[in-house]
Structure 1
């Protein structure tokens, strides 16, 4: 049975052992990664308003592509070129209203903010596009120019 069959259109895994493994990986990524878990609209709005450059990842613990995407996301948080970025994540299972507010097309999804305004978004697991978007957002830190990435 393929991984795609386990997570067809975001449905929960049928194999509990596999689901347990994915949940364990996601839990291990929760501490000390530089990524801030957000649970409420007020907290999300506050982080976006109070930080110049923000990236929000929307995903779920039961979603294999989200966990793999989170691994790629976390790998960028310690890089000095991204030091100006604030990395947030929202688990759509824990915080459904935040997922509804974001108007997601699917998960994983990333939204990119500068000075409180969303300037770009992407969805799906594509590490090269994520890296490019993070680099483009980080380049704004010394620029007065606003744009869409």
Structure 2
């Protein structure tokens, strides 16, 4: 499944209210740590291990209102939702830590 770019606040609200698991990456495209982890997030989206997630990306420069609404203060930030409720947040560009966070969300922790 590809990573879907969020292009509006209404699209963001629809994405976070979806049933099931949702992973949202908030990025500043010019920031080096965002550039480093974005290909890994894309690889997760294409990996069958993470098939239960819907993957989205928000460019916080283009979608400042979405970033403010969601409380994002740094990039990269990842928010995880289950059935419309935020269940986890991860800030940073550590692949192993992001993968552990996703595994915890998948396991219901």
* TM-score w.r.t. length of structure 1: 0.69
**Secondary structure of the structure 1 residue equivalent to 2:30:** coil
Any idea what the Cα deviations from partners look like across 1:1-55, whole Å, max 9, x if unmatched? Answer: xxxxxxxxxxxxxxxxxxxxxxxxxxxxxxxx71000021111111221231001
Q: Which has the higher helix share?
A: 1
The answer to which of 128-137 and 87-96 deviates more is 128-137
Q: What corresponds to 2:87 in structure 1? A: 119
Q: Which has the higher strand share?
A: 2
Q: How many residues align?
A: 109
Cα root mean square deviation, aligned? 1.4
Q: Does 1:71 align with 2:23?
A: no
Pick from 70, 76, 80 the counterpart of residue 108 of structure 1.
76
1:51 and 1:86 in contact (8 A); partners too: no
Relative contact order, higher structure (CA 8 A, sep 6+):
2
1:55 and 1:88 in contact (8 A); partners too: yes
Structural mapping, 1:1-149, within 5 Å:
34-140=2-108, 149=109
Any idea what the Cα deviations from partners look like across 1:80-112, whole Å, max 9, x if unmatched? Answer: 121110000000111110111111131100001
Counterparts of 1:41 and 1:94, CA distance in 2: 11
- Which segments of 5 or more consecutive residues in structure 1 lack a partner in the other structure? 1-32, 141-148
**Secondary structure of the structure 2 residue equivalent to 1:66:** helix
**Secondary structure of the structure 2 residue equivalent to 1:39:** coil
Look at both structures and tell me which one has the larger radius of gyration over its CA atoms. 1
Counterparts of 2:70 and 2:98, CA distance in 1: 18
